[in-house]
Amino acid sequence: MTAEAPPLQDGAPVLVSVLENHRFDEAALAGYLSGRLPGFNGSGLVVRQFQGGQSNPTFHLQTPSGAYVLRKKPPGKLLPSAHAVEREFRVMQALAGSEVPVPMTHLLCEDADVIGTPFFVMDHVPGRIFADRVMLSGTAEDRRAVYGELARVLAALHRVDWRAAGLADFGKTEQYMERQVQRWTRQWEASKVEEMPAMDRVAAWLSAHLPEDSEIAIAHGDYRLGNVILHPTEPRIAAVLDWELATLGHPLADLAYACLTYHLPPGPTGLTGVLGTDYQQMGIPTQEEFVAAYCRAAGRPVPADLDVFIVFSMFRLASIVAGVWRRALDGNASDPRAIGYRERYRGMADGAWTIAQRLGA
């Protein structure tokens, strides 16, 4: 950004008092961190919760020695394999020092007796977070630069040598897409509180149209604008967050998920997606431009079969959102606004089925 360019909108994350259903024993936490967290002696701890986010509740820890972030599993009954803070901690540790910016991690506590669930603590990285997929603030030049940076960092992640990083056992390397379709079909069925035929149709279509599993990389699993911290004033990613769904997987599944911005309409806040809008006037690249930027950075040709991965990504996200809505109905969602997520998952399912029909039987 040039010196003359106006600064981007603040984008500072919102901190609120800990939600009633996410409260835990802060004295027990302070006692546990004393002697384990650099410079913290057990006194002067102030805990606040980050507003938003639908997966693992995240908290800001202010201590006399500095600011940290705690991420924990949510309370209540959880779906199998969901909310894996242990895996988040491990992959961030493995990526430390790579071209993928991640917060420095300090400790993982797997003892649920301390504050009720496992948790980990990492550095607080100052910067701007734009919670959804579409960046509306700043200039067209700013936005163009940010989306270019998103493509560059995703390519950098996929170039990481996962064996050398100590992640050879972080996930299975065979039949990734088949296992993923099965996993998210099970997740949908476990979350289901109503019939939604489009979800069942897409699940069956994907099982019959599995792409070749010829590539393996570290896959973030939820890579989008809302899961990165931007530098306070520059269009540069300071840290990639929310590694809960990370695994070893097909890089095109990650790329397709990052492209969902182009397949989702604007939501209630006007931020969900850009489908049907004149987003190019805003400086946001087209999907073709975004994919080309990623491929240049990754050193690979533009894929011919990305649409199949996009159908999968929409189905997968719909399964996740259906689970969020289910948790809201059960009273243990991270964000009370999730009670209104019914139409979101249904819209994604319908959109996925429309694309699948266009691709043919």
CATH number of the domain that residue 249 is part of: 3.90.1200.10
Residues 151, 92, single domain; the answer is no
Residues 361/286/226/344 CA torsion (nearest 10 deg): -40
Indicate if 270 and 241 belong to the same structural domain: yes
Residue 352 lies in a domain: yes
The verdict on residue 2 lying in a domain is: no
- The pLDDT confidence band at residue 214, using thresholds 50, 70 and 90, is confident
Residues 190 and 312 in one domain: yes
Instruction: Answer yes or no: do 177 and 82 share one domain.
Output: no
Residues 60 and 87 in one domain: yes
Over the stretch 255-272, which tens digit does the pLDDT of each residue have?
Answer: 999 999 999 998 766 568
Question: Domain end: 59, 91, 123, which one?
Answer: 123
Of 91, 123, 155, which marks where a domain is finished?
A: 123
Q: What is the CATH number of the domain that holds 69?
A: 3.30.200.20
Query: What token pair was written down for 69?
Result: 């972030």
Whole-number Cα distances in Å, 191 to 17, 141, 326: 29, 41, 6
Q: Do 49 and 17 meet the contact criterion of CB atoms below 8 Å apart?
A: yes
- Tell which wins on pLDDT, 273 or 5: 273
Alpha-carbon separation of residue 133 from 53, 103, 274 (angstroms): 13, 21, 9
Domain end, chosen from 66, 97, 123, is at 123
Residue 9 lies in a domain: no
Cβ atoms within 10 A of the Cβ of 331, count? Answer: 11
Q: Can you give the pTM of this predicted structure?
A: 0.89
Tell me how crowded residue 343 is: count the other CB atoms within 10 A of its CB: 12
Residue 7 has pLDDT above 80, yes or no: no
State the chain's mean pLDDT as an integer: 89
* pLDDT on residue 294: 98
Confidence class of residue 5 from pLDDT cuts 50, 70 and 90? very low
Residues 59 and 93 in one domain: yes
Does 4 reside within a domain? no
> For every residue of 205-234, which 3-state class applies, written as one string?
HHHHCCCCCCCCEEECCCCCHHHEEECCCC
- Does residue 164 share a domain with residue 34? no
Residue 307 lies in a domain: yes
| Share in percent of the chain as helix, strand, coil (round to 5) | 40, 10, 45
| Domain-located, residue 210 | yes
Residue 178 has which token pair?
A: 């088949």
How many folded domains does the chain comprise?
2
Q: 301 with 351, same domain?
A: yes
* Two structure tokens written together for 21: 């259903």
Helix (H) / strand (E) containing 317: helix 306-330
Residue 327 lies inside a defined structural domain of this protein: yes
Q: Is the pLDDT of residue 9 over 50?
A: no
- Alpha carbon dihedral 346, 287, 83, 271, in 10-degree steps, equals -60
Mean pLDDT of 180-192: 93
Q: Contact at 8 Å (CB) between 318 and 199?
A: yes
- Tell me: do 214 and 248 sit in the same domain: yes
Contact call for residues 251 and 284 (beta carbons, < 8 A): no
Query: The domain containing residue 70 runs over which residues?
Result: 15-123
Tell whether 71 is covered by a domain: yes
171 within 8 A of 247, measured Cβ to Cβ: yes
Residues 6+ apart with CB under 8 A from 79: 187, 190, 191, 323
Q: Which residue has the tokens 């987003």?
A: 279
168's tokens: 């050879």
For residue 94, the SS3 value is helix
| Whether residue 149 is found in the same domain as residue 96 | no
| Position 165, amino acid | A
Nearest CA-CA partner of 242 in 56, 12, 50, 52: 56
Mean pLDDT of 174-199: 93
Residues 262 and 313 in one domain: yes
Dihedral angle computed from the Cα positions of residues 275, 305, 217 and 179, in that order, rounded to the nearest 10 degrees:
90
82 lies in the same domain as 163 = no
